[in-house]
Amino acid sequence: MKINLRFSQNWWVPVVAVAGLISTASFKPEEGMFPLNYLNINDLKNAGIKLQANEIFNPGEVSLTDALVRVGGCTGSFISEEGLIITNHHCVYGNVARLSNSDHNYLENGFVAKNKSEELSVSMPCKITQSYEDVSSLVLDGITEKTSPEERANMIAANIKRVLEKEKTANPELTVEISEMFVGKSYTLFRYITLMDVRLVMAPPLTVGQFGGDSDNWEWPRHNGDFSLVRAYVGKNGKPAPYSPDNVPYKPKKTLKINPNGTQEGDFVFIMGYPGRTFRHESGQYLRFQQDIQLPVIQNWYKTYIDWMKEFSKTDVNKRLAFAGKIQGLENTEKNYRGKIQGLRRTSVVQNRQQQDIAMRIAFPKGSKEEIQAQQVLDGIDEAWNIRRKQGRLFYYSNVFLNNESTVGRLGLEIVQAKFNLAAVKYKRTEKSMAQVIAEFQKEALKSYRFIDAKLEKQTFEYLVDQIYKESGKTGLFKYPGKFGSFDGGLKSDMRKKLLKSKMFDTAYLGKMIRQQPEKLILSQDPVVLICLDMHGIETTVGQNWQQTALKLNSLMPQYIGLREQFLKSKFIPDANSTLRLTYGYVRGYSPNDGESHSPFTTLEGIFEKANTKEDYRLPQHIQDKLIKKDVPALFKDPKTGKVIVGFLYNMDTTGGNSGSPVLNDKGELIGINFDRSFTATINDFAWNEQYSRSIGCDIRYVLYVLKYVSEADHILKELNFDIQ
């Protein structure tokens, strides 16, 4: 389907969004993932909520926030008094894959613990927000306009450390974090209870939880049951503790009430959760860099890497399971980035912000302090981003991909650094001993040497090195080509041949060498290590330049945001940053393109219409048999249509991290689980608009339906106070 996005010319204009200033004239959701102290309860009441302010957040007392948890990189919520948490299937996907093998394929077949002793430990620590406090004055203490970018960064880091140390002494039982709300301008301290022992209780079969696969990812209509259940445990004393068979279920202060009556088009809904990162207050140069360089480079690399993993694991079930979590995560990001690229290129987001920046240069009285400041700030931002534009592709290949996606590349760079550290010992340029250097290398290397597939590692390393050599020549930073590659032709042919014989792609050999002969490995002349000598120099140079531009931008952004607020005569909502937020709106369909209109609901019938028409719609017969039920109880049916609702659509402002967030009705009751956005809403990270931004949830009635008929988990339904015959 070809998508043509059409927008008005002024949809980007930011909305006043501080407490007491939110517009209530039309009761439409305004742009914003609101920190709780930015909300105005009167606006929420006018919009449709029936709760009081202290029912939403009430430090020291029980409120909705006590039912919310940040679980892994997602959001979850307590739905039973025995610590049962509901979140998305895609949030537990990687853990389920790691627990699976060809004999017990929980990813494919689903998992249900028949009792608590069968629940499986997962790596998904949970955080519950207890309170928050503005600490901006403490974090920025001593900083003036004359403070250099380097000094500013060091002072902020030192101040944050000081505040956290004091806070940890006062509240040793809590996790405390300071989150930057506006870059270099506003900081909030959050206090959390952290639950470390979390166990898998239920995951639907893959063909239910991820029905539609990548074809339907970031798309509407949707028909997947993207939910799973985990349980939090604590020690017998009721305090958070690491996993132990003796631990007991956590007793939450608040649980969400499940409302099986569902919702109707036009109903008020709201979400509370922990959205990840948005970038709505950045400069036009930042947005242009995203559009032209960062997003395309990362999207292209992820697509390449995903294709390799699929190719190398297509005939090996265990390898496919080992790759599953990585593939699922990267596919999600790759398609998200494709949507962002399309959104930025087909809308005027970038152009409008750049035009704002140009207009801001002349918006203030000539010769005024504000005009001089605007010129200096915007000149500085332009200079920093021009440097990044020249070096951006090289930065991602050398400092990001080589370190994150190539296990061998990361280990090779660690070996090279250890070589330099041993040389420093030899020439007495460090106080460390040789034994200390070797021990430090060994400790870090043990974290990174394991990999799944030697063929994938070889292809990844060679490809990235090839790109790094080629991109190095385009930057003008390096006068002479590397020893083992050229700026125009990439990795030299003789080194490609030598790589075939490298022992660095033998994980058993590496494990043995790191544990038993780390010094010999450091002194190795293996082709990978020799190439990484070149890579280390490139990575270091580009990384240092990147850090310098980061320091400069971080010192300029507080001034830039202040100038924009003056220019637009508005106040901004802080960008999302994985801290607790609330967004509200309505169940609503949309028309993303001319002649294209979408209902806000999908039903069980749509699953069978799609079933087995393509690989992503694979639905085994035994799952179909479980889904097809005659005489379905009224509990599961939409009262208007008599159909089983699967997914629904709403115009709330969400982003990554809102996965698993509870969708709540006007009384704060659970009616769905948020799991995605429409493809046209992937641009939400940069801008939100009611016309095209839609979020997607799994209807709570379908959750109950799957628990009853697919997973046959009556004991879980009983725990949720549902006795369905």
Write out the DSSP string of 76-129: EEE-STT-EEEE-HHHHHHHHHHH--SSS-HHHH-EE-SSGGG-EEES--EEEE
Express each pLDDT in 143-152 by its tens digit: 998 899 999 9
Question: CA nearest 549: which of 360, 337, 373, 395?
Answer: 395
What dihedral angle (degrees, nearest 10) is formed by the CA atoms of 300, 303, 309, 315? -140
Instruction: Give the pLDDT of residue 14.
Output: 29
Mean pLDDT of the chain: 91
Express each pLDDT in 555-581 by its tens digit: 999 999 999 999 998 888 899 999 999
Under the banding of pLDDT at 50, 70 and 90, the label for residue 31 is: low
pLDDT above 60 (res 15): no
Least confident piece of the model among 429-443, 474-488, 709-723: 474-488
Express each pLDDT in 280-312 by its tens digit: 999 999 999 999 999 999 999 999 999 999 999
Alpha-helix residue ranges (DSSP H) falling in 347-481: 349-361, 369-395, 402-404, 407-426, 434-448, 454-475
How far is residue 347's CA from residue 342's CA, in Å, rounded to a whole number?
A: 8
Instruction: Give the pLDDT of residue 577.
Output: 92
Instruction: Give the pLDDT of residue 25.
Output: 31
**pTM beyond cutoff 0.85:** yes
pLDDT above 80 (res 68): yes
Express each pLDDT in 85-125 by its tens digit: 999 999 999 999 999 998 999 999 999 999 999 999 999 99
How far is residue 566's CA from residue 368's CA, in Å, rounded to a whole number?
A: 14
Cβ atoms of 484 and 492 within 8 Å: the answer is yes
How far is residue 198's CA from residue 71's CA, in Å, rounded to a whole number?
A: 9
Angle, nearest 10°, between helix axes 527-568 and 349-361?
A: 60
For residue 228, what are the β-bridge partners?
87
As a residue count, the chain comes to: 725
Task: Copy the structure tokens of residue 224.
Answer: 């997947």
How far is residue 711's CA from residue 718's CA, in Å, rounded to a whole number?
A: 14
Give the start-to-end residue ranges of the domains of the chain.
34-125+196-279+576-719, 127-195, 393-555
Task: Copy the structure tokens of residue 675.
Answer: 């799991």
Sheet (strand 670-677) strand order = 34-35, 581-586, 268-273, 662-664, 670-677, 695-699, 645-650, 601-603
Which amino acid, one-letter code, is at 18?
V
How far is residue 411's CA from residue 449's CA, in Å, rounded to a whole number?
A: 7
Under the banding of pLDDT at 50, 70 and 90, the label for residue 59 is: confident
**Rg of the chain on CA atoms, in Å:** 27
pLDDT above 90 (res 661): yes
Express each pLDDT in 362-398 by its tens digit: 999 999 999 999 999 999 999 999 999 999 999 999 9
How far is residue 244's CA from residue 716's CA, in Å, rounded to a whole number?
A: 22
Question: CA nearest 57: which of 134, 135, 136, 129?
Answer: 129
Q: Would you say domain 34-125+196-279+576-719 falls under CATH 3.40.50.300?
A: no
Percentage of the chain lying above the pLDDT 70 cut: 96
